[in-house]
Amino acid sequence: MSTIAAEPTNQSNQTERKATAHTAVLHSGFREDTGLQSGLIAPGDALRLAYYAGTHYSGVTCRATIRLANEQPFYEVAFQGKVYRLLSRPVPGQSESVRHDDVKYELVRTWAPGLQCDGWFMDPPAAVPNTPRALIMELQTVIGVSLEDILGKAFSIFHYRLDNNAQYPQTMEPAGYTLRELFLAAVAADGQLSTLYETPKGTNVELWTMFLRVLDQPNQPKLSDYAYSSMAVKEFGEVGAAAMRRALMLRNRPAQSAAPLGLRPFVEAFPPNLDGTKLTRDVGRHAGTL
């Protein structure tokens, strides 16, 4: 792998409003550093705690186990035989005696011809994508292919590792991890990106966040029952209920129900278990462990 990386040239807009609790983010620890509209983290914010490896929790994917040696991945995406990454890493050439919290870090983009092998540097990033839309736009720029190809042929190895104790899959195309499935994404009629991690028009924002949290959990057969009930239309609206059904189909859940839940409200059918934490919208059920 080359050891030369150029300096990032652009900073994200420092006056941009930041992501809210109901903005879907890839790294929940950087929510307050993420632009609300751009979905980007400025380099300085992304590198602020780059030296911190975190605590190693046995059996749980965490900051310590997701790292690649002393490099921290922000994304790992496989596309047609190549793995694309955005990483923070120590700037080469520093003294080995420097204190760990004084080590200087940089952001780099790389690609490799396999899941666990060396590769090559690409143009350095100007910022770090931290929302589904921002990451998809980043990959379109980096790889230079159509939106339809990105959604259907790109696989998030990072999210596979999050769900599997930081282990790599046996294939670059793990089932269930296309960006279309993971980000509930589609190409809209006007050719633009549509993602159901963004609240459907007219739907209650908090209810949609609750739905996404339940959707990300395995073994929730009642979710299809609710989506086809009259209560889904009453609570989420016609547009929201239809969006729920599309989301279930994108995750390969049953497309119709034989036993609708009738008049049971969503919070009664799926009591929120927040363990005293704030209700937030994250991508993947393990995003909070990082």
Asked if the model's pLDDT at residue 10 lies above 50, the reply is no
Give the span between the Cα atoms of 129 and 126, in whole angstroms: 10
Whole-structure pTM value: 0.90
pLDDT digits (tens, 9 = 90+) for 242-281: 999 999 999 987 656 556 566 789 999 898 876 667 899 9
Distance of alpha carbon 59 from alpha carbon 129, whole angstroms: 27
Eight-state DSSP code of residue 178:
B
- pLDDT higher at 1 or 252: 252
Here the tokens at position 179 are 């960006």
Residue with tokens 């790294």, as numbered in its chain: 27
Per cent of the chain over pLDDT 90 is 68
pLDDT class of 102 with cuts at 50, 70, 90: confident
Is the pLDDT assigned to residue 283 strictly greater than 90? yes
Q: Which of 174, 175, 240 is nearest to 210 (CA)?
A: 240
CA distances from 207 to 107, 237, 269 (A): 36, 11, 13
Examine the pLDDT at 233 and tell me if it is beyond 50: yes
Both tokens of 107, joined, read 């952001």
What span, in angstroms and rounded, lies between the C-alpha atoms of 218 and 202? 27
- CA dihedral (255, 155, 195, 88) positive or negative: positive
Kind plus residue range of the DSSP H or E element containing 250: helix 230-250
Farthest-apart Cα atoms in the chain, separation: 66
List CB contacts of 164: < 8 A, sequence separation 6 or more. Answer: 61
pLDDT tens digit sequence for 188-229: 999 999 999 999 999 999 999 999 999 998 777 789 889 988
250: number of Cβ within 10 Å? 18
Confidence of residue 98 (pLDDT cuts 50, 70, 90): confident
What SS3 state is found at 36?
coil
| Residue 159 to residue 154: CA distance in whole angstroms | 12
Note the Cα 231 to chain centre separation in Å.
30
Answer with the residue of higher pLDDT: 9 or 100: 100
User: Is the separation of the CB atoms in 122 and 5 below 8 Å?
Assistant: no
